[in-house]
Amino acid sequence: MSINLSENVQKVAPSMTLAISAIAKKKIADGEDVINFSVGEPDFDTPDAIKEAAIQALNSGKTKYTAVSGIVELKEAIANKYKSENKVNYSADDVIVSSGGKQAIFNALMAILNPGDKVLIPVPYWTSYPEMVTLAYGTPVLVQPSDSTIYKVSVNDLDRYYSPEVKCLIINSPSNPSGVVYESEELREIATWAVKKNVILLSDEIYEKLSYDSDFTSIASLSEEIRDQTITINGFSKTYAMTGLRLGYSISSNKQITKLINTIQSHTTSNANSITQYAGLEALSTNVDFMIDTFKRRRDLIIAEAKKIDQLKYIYPQGAFYLLIDISPYIGKFYGDSKISDSLDFAQIFLEKEKVALTPGSAFGMDSYIRISYALSDEKLVEGMQRLKNFVNAIK
Ligand code: PLP
């Protein structure tokens, strides 16, 4: 049978980060002593109060369709959170609740892109951005920051990649995978540039609570004009350890954008899971400081461990829970008989020989790096870094 399937979807690779994590989880389930540095989710259990809210919602029959954009109480709570914590004046009508931040981003791109529109994506990027842009019939334009020590883009970088087809710029601070956090003034320069060029800002703030060295700034808080040019994305997965519950949202003060996102969602998934929405409502008033403090401590621990490995270079993470390590000194060399030609080889040989799973930098547009997630216990972090030390020391 020969059928001409979607050429657009065939341009897109499945998520490498999910694939590697699945291999690692299978090996662990089979009893192998694998340290899983590839996971993009907190290792904490979902807080009890949030689970209890989900159980109560289920028991009280909150199992029917909700409004496409979400239950009013949750949308109001999200708008209030943005007003009080993030200093952005949003109303509940600006919020569309979706099945995870991932869906919220995809909906937003579908709502704004026409075929041929370009989206600027700073490198390194979260693995799904370019693929989602392609799925939405846009063209990803990968922006290489000229400062390769801090890996933040500047207005000069954006100017180098700008063309009149550019419709959107994605900013993800704190960043997955680099952990870099943009300062308020840096965001202001970028946002002012975007307003001047009439480029929509898509601000992925999913790691907002995990900013360890400086205060987090929402781009949309910088001025009303900037807010009106921005689609803000956030979610519950990372902050509240709710990855499997699938809850996220987009917020835009532009009524047309919100209407289009609502239309897309109404014909695809309808509403986010009703029970999860009640869990999310509880989450917004749940104190998760212990998780944030633990991640900060682990960031310090992983850096202390990285320093024990001779000449290891990395991007210093100020937020999120990832560390990007430079493996360029090992590319082209051998571990035993196995040649390391790129980051995927590094990840595969490391998993096979030392039983540590991590994500190759090629998933984020940086093939000379690997990404470690430090959302693991202290013991596992130390053991995993010891295995990394043994591995790189054996590379000749
Ligand atoms: N944005 C970034 C930068 C992420 O790292 C992730 C998850 O890994 C998401 C969005 C989507 O998360 P979720 O769909 O679980 O809300």
Q: Per-residue pLDDT tens for 174-184?
A: 999 999 999 99
Residue closest to 167 by CA, chosen among 124, 111, 104: 111
Q: Mind listing the pLDDT tens digit for each residue in 17-70?
A: 667 777 888 888 888 899 999 988 899 999 999 999 999 999 999 999 999 999
Q: What Rg, from alpha-carbon coordinates, does the chain have?
A: 21
Residue located nearest, by CA, to atom 12 of ligand 1: 101
Q: Which two tokens stand for residue 65?
A: 């369709």
Q: 248 C-alpha to center of ligand 1: Å?
A: 9
Burial group, residue 5, by CB count within 10 angstroms (0-12, 13-18, 19+):
exposed
- Mean pLDDT of the 72-92 span: 98
Q: 102 C-alpha to center of ligand 1: Å?
A: 6
pLDDT given at position 21: 75
pLDDT given at position 242: 97
Does residue 116 have a pLDDT over 80? Answer: yes
pLDDT tier, 125 (very low <50, low <70, confident <90, very high otherwise): very high
The Cα–Cα gap between 341 and 331 comes to: 5
pLDDT tier, 13 (very low <50, low <70, confident <90, very high otherwise): confident
Q: 332 C-alpha to center of ligand 1: Å?
A: 33
State the average pLDDT for the chain.
95
Which atom of ligand 1 sits closest to the CA of residue 320? 5
Q: Ligand 1: which of 78, 105, 126 to mutate, judged by most atoms within 8 Å of the beta carbon?
A: 126
Q: 251 C-alpha to center of ligand 1: Å?
A: 16
pLDDT given at position 22: 78
- Mean pLDDT of the 201-209 span: 98
Residue closest to 200 by CA, chosen among 117, 127, 265: 117
Between the CA of residue 56 and those of 59, 237, 243, 276, what are the distances in Å?
A: 5, 20, 20, 11
Place of tokens 């196995």: 338
Q: Which two tokens stand for residue 102?
A: 């991932």
- Mean pLDDT of the 94-116 span: 98
pLDDT given at position 285: 97
Which atom of ligand 1 sits closest to the CA of residue 247? 16
Q: Ligand 1: which of 237, 247, 373 to mutate, judged by most atoms within 8 Å of the beta carbon?
A: 237
Which atom of ligand 1 sits closest to the CA of residue 40? 8
Answer whether 392's CB lies under 8 Å from 349's CB. no
Q: Ligand 1: which of 96, 176, 247, 359 to mutate, judged by most atoms within 8 Å of the beta carbon?
A: 176
Prediction pTM value: 0.96
Answer whether 244's CB lies under 8 Å from 275's CB. no
Residue 20: CB atoms within 10 A of its CB come to: 24
Q: 235 C-alpha to center of ligand 1: Å?
A: 8
Q: 293 C-alpha to center of ligand 1: Å?
A: 21
Residue located nearest, by CA, to atom 5 of ligand 1: 176
Decide: helix, strand or coil at residue 335: strand
| b/e code 55-80 from CB counts within 10 Å (16+ = b) | eebeeeebeeebebbbbeebbbbbbe
Answer whether 63's CB lies under 8 Å from 312's CB. no
**Ligand 1 pocket, CB under 6 A:** 40, 100-102, 126, 172, 176, 204, 206, 235, 237, 243, 248
Answer whether 38's CB lies under 8 Å from 373's CB. yes
- Going edge to edge, which strands form the sheet with 359-360? 313-315, 322-326, 369-373, 359-360
Q: Mind listing the pLDDT tens digit for each residue in 308-367?
A: 999 899 999 999 999 999 999 999 999 999 999 999 999 989 998 999 999 999 999 999
